[in-house]
Chain A
Amino acid sequence: MRFGRTSKAIGVAAAAVLALSACATAGGGSEETGTAGGSQAGGSISVAETNAFSSFNSESAQGNVDINGKIAYMTRGGFYHIDNELNVVRNEEFGTYEKVSDDPLVVKYTVNEGVTWSDGTPVDAGDLLLTWLIESGYANDAKTNEDGKVTSGTSYFDYAGDTSGLALTDQPEVGDDGRSITLTYSKPYADWEIAFGGLSDGGIGAPAHVVAEKAGLADEQALVDLIQGLKRGDPDSPAEANDQLQKVADFWNTGFDTKSLPSDTSLYLSSGPFVVDSITPDQSITLVRNDSYTWGPDPKVDEITVRFIGAAPDQVQALKNGEVDIIAPQPSADTVELLQAIDGVNVDVDDQLAYDHIDLNYSGVFADPDVRQAFMKVVPRQAIVDRIVKPLKDDAAPLNSQFFVPAQDAYAESAENNGSSAYDKVDIDGARQLLDGREPEVRIMYNKDNPNRADAYALIQESAEKAGFKIVDGGLGASDWSAALGDGTYDATIFGWTNPGVGVSGVPQIFKTGAGSNFNGFSNKKADELMDELIVTTDKAKQDEIIMQIDKIVWDSYYGLPLFQSVGLDAYNSNRIEGVKYQPNQTGVFWNFWEWGVKE
C-alpha cells in the first residue's frame, strides 16, 4: 500500500514534468522579452473618448454615435473634410467633384483611379451609388402620420441624417469609366458643396461589393443594376416593397453593428489612412496604418488607440498617468483647473458650435402654450451661465438665438428681433400668473453623468419650483439618455446640439415637422415652408434672412430656450506629442489626425 502511494506520487510528478515540455511556448522566449511591441517607426497615440464604439456604420440610426463617426472619419476616404476654421478642404487625391452647370444644378463626382478598399477592390461608382441611395432616401415611399407611424409604403435605409438635400437629385448617371456619378438637382440647392461624400459624414462609407454579397446579391454589378432600376419612391402611390432592396437595407441597417472585432474582415474594410486592427469591447479600439492608402494626407503616426473612459476626472487622471495622450472631455471649471495644474499638458479652451438648450415637448403637460411660456420665464439662464460657463470663460453670456452663435454676423440682429429679451431675467410672478394656480408636473431628462447638465438641471429645478412647477428628475446615464430623446418619457430635456458649422441643412433636421432630430414635436407650417425655401437658396444673405424669420417663429411658439454656447476643451500631452489642434465642430480633435506626431 505504501509503496503504491509513493509510486503513484512519483508517477504523477513525472507525468507533470513531461507535460511541461509540451506546453512551453514555441521558440525561445528571453529575446522576445526585450523587443517593444509593434512597428514603432511613427509611434502610437492614444485618445480618450467618452462613448464606447458600437458600429462600423456611423450613419444608421443605431450606429449614429459620435465615436463611431470618428472611427469612420479615420478609416474612410472622402471628397472633402472641414478644417478647424470651418473651410471645406477638398481631397483631390481621393477624387474630384465639380459643378457642371448651375441651372439645373449638376455636380459630377469622380473617384481617382487606384483608390481601393483595404481588400483591394477599387472604390468605384457602385460605392458612390449606394451611398447616394442611402443618403437621398430615393426609393423610400413611406407615408407617416403625425405620430411618425408608417401608414403605407416602405422606408428602406434607416439613415440617421437628413435626406432633404440629395432627395432633390435624380437617378445619377454613372460615368463611362465606372468611377464617377453625376447628380442632377431638380432645384438649386444651397449646400451642394457639402452634400455628398464628406469625411465628417462618414465619407463613402458603404463598400457596395460587401453589402451586395451580404444581401445575397450575385456581385456589386447586381447591386448597381438594382439601384439603377429603382424608381423614385412616391409616398402618395407606394410601390410594392422591393424584397431585394429590403435585404440590402436590412444588412446596411444592422449588419455593421458590433462591439468586438468581427472575424469577417469585409465588415470593416477601410478606404482611409487607418484600418481597425483590434477591439477590446467597451475598453478600446486600435487603428493601424492602412498600407495600401496613398490618396490623401499621410498620417505621421502608425497607430491610434481610442480608449473609452466615461467620466472626465478619470480621463484627466489617465492623461496625467500617460495612459492616454489626448483627451477632450466635456469641459467644466474643475476639469480645466485640474488639467492646467498638470505639467507638460497643453490645454485648449475655446468656443464651440454646440450649445446647450432646454426643449419643451409640444405634448403632455406642455401641450398648453401658457405652461411652456411660464416654464421659459423661470429658467434662470444668467445663473446657469454664471455657474457653468463663467468659470471657464469670462465674457460668457446666455445665447439668444436658436440658430446663430455670436460669432456669426446675423446673430445680433436675430437676437434683437426674435423676442428672446423676454427671457433675460427670471420672472417668477409672470410664470405664476400664466400658470394660474396650476402645479404642472414636469419631468426633465438630461445626461446625469454630465456635470454641466446636472448643474443646469439643479438650477432650473430650484427656480421652477418657486413658481409652482413640480419637477421630476428624469436624468439618465451617459449611454442611455440619447436613446431616450423624443421617446415621450419626459416633458423637457436639457441637451446639446452640435451643428456642422457649414451649410444650412442642419436647420430642417431639427426644426422641420417630423424630422429625424425633431424630438419635441415642434411643427409649424410657416416654418416648414421657410425651411423648404431655405434649402434651395444659395445666396448667403438671403439664407440669413430666412433663418431669422424661422428663429422668430420658434421663439414665438415657446419652443424652449437656448442656454449657452458650449465651451470646448481638449488637452494633450505636449511633452510627448504634437500637431493636435482645437476644432470647434463635431469631429473634434480628430479633424487633423494625420498631423498628429510623436516627438522624438
Chain B
Amino acid sequence: MLTYIARRLVTAVLILLGASFVVYQLTALSGDPLHDLRASNAPNKDQLIQQRIDLLNLDVPAPVRYFQWLGGAVRCVIPTQCDLGYAINGQPVTEALGRAMGMTILLVSAAAVLAIVIGVALGIVTALRQYSTLDYGVTFMAFLFFSLPVFWVAVLLKEFAAIGFNNFLRDPHIPLQTILLIGLVSAVVWFVCAAGTLPRRFGAAAIGFVLAAAVMWVLSATGWFATPGLGLAVIALTGTAIAFGTTLLAAGLRNRRALYAALASAGAGVVLYFPIQPLLAQATGLMIFLLAVATVLAGLAAGYLMGGYDRRQNMSAAAITAFLTGGLILLDRYMQAWPAYMDNSRINGRPIATIGSQTPNLRGDFWIHGLDTFTHLLLPTIALLLISLASYSRYARSSMLEIMNMDYIRTARAKGLSERTVVMRHAFRNALIPIATIVAFDIGGLIGGAVITENVFAFAGMGQLFIKSLERVDPNPVMGVFLVTGIVALVFNLIADLVYSALDPRVRVKA
C-alpha cells in the first residue's frame, strides 16, 4: 500500500510540474503584462516599466521565468519559505491567495458536503424505488435545477429568500392562505414519497397537509421566527427519532443492543442539555470541535459497553446518534442567540444577506459570528447546492441501479438476508465506489470554479482572483490559483483511489 501511495505521489508531482509549465506559458504568452504602462503618458513611465520588469522578472523569457517561479514555489514545502512571486499590483501572491482561498473554501465547503450527502441519499432512494412517482419527481427536479443558470437562481434567491424573508421577519405572522399553500405543497410531497396503494398515498397526503399546516400555524402563532428555539421537548423527540433512524440503517431495529446504545446516547444528550449551557455560553471554535470529538467518543463508548456479538454496529449507531443529538443542542444554542443577532444595530432586523461573507464590524460572541456567517453563506450555498445536487443524485441512482441487478445481490436475497442488510451492506457500499471518483473530481473543480457565484454574491474568492489576473496577463496569481486547484484535484484523486481500495477489496489485491 505504501509503495502504491508513493508511486501515486510521484506521478502527481510530475503531472503538476507538466501542467504548471503549460499553464504558465499559456498565461505569460496570452498578452503583454506591461500593456497598461507602455503607452502611458506618465512622465516617469520608463521608471514604472522598469519597476514592473524587476518585480515580475519580465526581462527573462517565459520558459526560463517558469523555472524561477518554480524555484520559489518549491520552497512552499516549508510554509514560511513560500514564495509565489508578486501580482502585477505588487501584492505578494501568497497573501492574495491565502485570502482568496479562505473565502472560496468558506463558500464551497458547506455546499459540497450538503450536495454529496443529499444527492447520494436522493439517488439511492430513487434507485430503490425505480419508476415510482418519487423517482420521476426527483428526476424532474434534478434536471430542472441542473439546467438553471446560477446567476439567475442567485438573483431570485436574493429577491425572495433574502429580501422577501427579511420583510416577513418584520412581522413573522403567516397568513392563512400561505399556511394552506404550504400544507398543499407538503401534501404533494408526502403523496409523491409515499408508497403503496392509492388510498394509502392519499392518506399520507392528508397527514402531510395537516402536519405541515399545524406546524406552520404553531410557529406563526408563537412568534417562533422572531425567537426561534428547539427546547428540550423537541430535542428529546428528535433525538429519539434519530436513535431509531440510525439504528435502523446501521444495525436494524432487531439489534436491541444497538437501539439501546443509540437511545442512551440521545438520552445523554437530553440530560446534558441544561448542564452544558453555561459552558456553551463561553464557546470558542476549538471548544465546539473538542465537544464534537468528545460526543462521538462518548457514543462509541456507549456502543462498546453495550456489548453483544457485533459491537461495531452498536458503536456506529450510538456514535452517529450522539453526534446528531449534539448537533441539535448546538442548533438550539444558535437559535437562542438569534434574537440578539436580529437586534444588533448592524443587522437591524434584516438577517439574511445578499452580498459578502460577513457584516462589517459586527461585534459579538462566537454564536453571533456563527449566525452572521450562516446568514451570509445561506444563499450562495443554496445556489451552489441546487446545481451540484442534480449530478450527484443522478450518478448515485444509476450506480445503485446497476449494483441492485448484480448476481450477488440476488444471492444475498436468496440466502435470506433482510432487505436492510442487502441494501446497506451489499449494495450501498458498492454503489459508492464510482461516486467517490466523481466527488474527488468535483471538489477540485468547486474550489477553482465558483466564479459566477462569487461574482454575484460579491465574494472575493479564487474564481475572481483567477479571472481578474488572467485579464491582466498576470501569471503569478493565475499560477497560485492553478497550484491550489491542481494540488486539490490530485490529492482528491489520490484519496478517491485510497477510498476505492477501502471500499473494494479487489482493487487492494491488484495494488
Contact = CB atoms under 8 A, between A and B. Distances in A.
A28 B281 contact: yes
B367 A278 contact: no
Contact of B35 (A62, A308, A309, A484): A484
A33 B458 contact: no
Contacts of A6: 301, 304
Interface string B407-428: 0000000000000000000000
A515 interface: yes
A303 interface: yes
Contact of A307 (B41, B344, B355): B355
A54 B363 CA distance: 25
Given A36-B343, A283-B356, A307-B355, 6 more contacts: A25-B366, A29-B366, A142-B44, A150-B47, A286-B361, A305-B360
A17 B344 contact: no
Contacts of B355: 307, 309, 314, 318, 323
6 contacts: A6-B304, A25-B366, A29-B366, A33-B367, A140-B43, A284-B360
Contacts of A557: none
B90 A283 contact: no
A30 B99 CA distance: 31
Please indicate which of the listed interface residues B293, B346, B360, B364 has the most CB atoms of chain A within 10 Å of its own CB.
B360
Given A13-B297, A257-B90, A307-B360, A24 B282 contact: yes
Given A286-B360, A321-B162, A20 B279 contact: yes
A593 to B, nearest CB: 17
A516 B471 contact: no
Given A61-B42, A318-B354, A30 B301 contact: no
Contacts of A13: 294, 297-298, 301
B334 to A, nearest CB: 11
A9 B301 contact: yes
A282 interface: yes
B259 to A, nearest CB: 22
B46 interface: yes
B345 A32 contact: no
Interface of A: 6, 9-10, 12-13, 16-17, 19-20, 23-25, 27-30, 32-38, 40, 43-44, 46, 54, 61-62, 140, 142, 144, 147-150, 155-156, 158, 254, 257, 259, 277-278, 280-284, 286, 303, 305, 307-311, 313-314, 317-318, 320-323, 476-477, 479-480, 483-484, 486-489, 514-519, 576
Given A9-B297, A36-B343, A321 B43 contact: no
A587 B166 CA distance: 32
Given A33-B337, A142-B44, A314 B458 contact: yes
A156 B42 CA distance: 11
A571 to B, nearest CB: 15
Nearest to A479: B468
A321 B282 CA distance: 31
Contact of A150 (B46, B298, B337, B368): B46
B42 A519 contact: no
A356 B10 CA distance: 57
A321 B283 contact: no
Interface residues of B, number: 73
Contact of B468 (A32, A35, A480): A480
B266 interface: no
A144 B162 contact: no
Interface string B290-329: 1101100110110010000000000000000000000000
B357 interface: yes
B155 interface: yes
A32 B341 CA distance: 11
Contacts of A23: 284, 286-287, 290
Interface in B101-143: none
Interface string B455-497: 1101010001000100110000000000000000000000000
A322 B166 contact: yes
B350 A323 contact: yes
Nearest to A18: B290
B35 A158 contact: no
Q: Considering the complex of A and B, which 7 residue pairs feature the smallest CB-CB distances, nearest first?
A: A37-B363, A282-B460, A488-B39, A29-B281, A24-B282, A155-B43, A155-B44
Contact of B41 (A277, A314, A518): A518
A512 B298 CA distance: 79
A158 B44 contact: yes
A148 B45 contact: yes
A314 B282 contact: no
Contacts of B281: 28-30, 33
A127 to B, nearest CB: 23
A309 B458 contact: yes
B42 A158 contact: yes
Please indicate which of the listed interface residues A29, A61, A519, A576 has the most CB atoms of chain B within 10 Å of its own CB.
A29
Contact of A303 (B42, B343, B361, B458): B361
Contacts of A518: 41
Interface of B: 32, 35-48, 89-91, 99, 155, 158-159, 162-163, 166, 279, 281-284, 286-287, 290-291, 293-294, 297-298, 300-301, 304, 337, 340, 343-346, 348, 350, 352-358, 360-368, 455-456, 458, 460, 464, 468, 471-472
Contacts of B346: 36-38, 44
A133 B296 CA distance: 68
Given A16-B294, A24-B287, A38 B363 contact: yes
A20 B290 contact: yes
Contacts of B159: 317
A538 to B, nearest CB: 28
B41 A317 contact: no
A581 to B, nearest CB: 23
A516 B42 contact: yes
Contact of A480 (B32, B99, B472): B472
Contacts of B290: 16, 19-20, 23
B504 to A, nearest CB: 28
A150 B354 contact: no
Nearest to A34: B340
A33 B368 contact: yes
Contact of A278 (B32, B158, B361): B361
Given A28-B281, A33-B337, A37-B363, A488 B286 contact: no
A233 to B, nearest CB: 11
Contact of B354 (A24, A35, A144, A321): A321
B155 A24 contact: no
Contacts of A40: 345
B155 A313 contact: yes
Contact of B353 (A27, A278, A323): A323
Given A33-B364, A303-B361, A317-B163, A308 B294 contact: no
Given A29-B283, A479-B468, A317 B297 contact: no
B41 A323 contact: no
B456 A314 contact: yes
Contact of A323 (B36, B340, B354, B357): B354
A460 to B, nearest CB: 22
Contact of A25 (B32, B282, B293, B304): B282
Contacts of A487: 35-40
Contacts of B460: 281-283
Contacts of A156: 44
B113 to A, nearest CB: 24
B58 to A, nearest CB: 16
B85 to A, nearest CB: 17
B41 A514 contact: yes
Contacts of A257: 89-90
Contacts of A155: 42-44, 47
Contacts of B344: 36-37
Contacts of A27: 282
B101 to A, nearest CB: 13
Given A23-B287, A155-B44, A44 B282 contact: no
A46 B162 CA distance: 18
B158 A283 contact: no
Contact of A280 (B360, B365, B464): B360
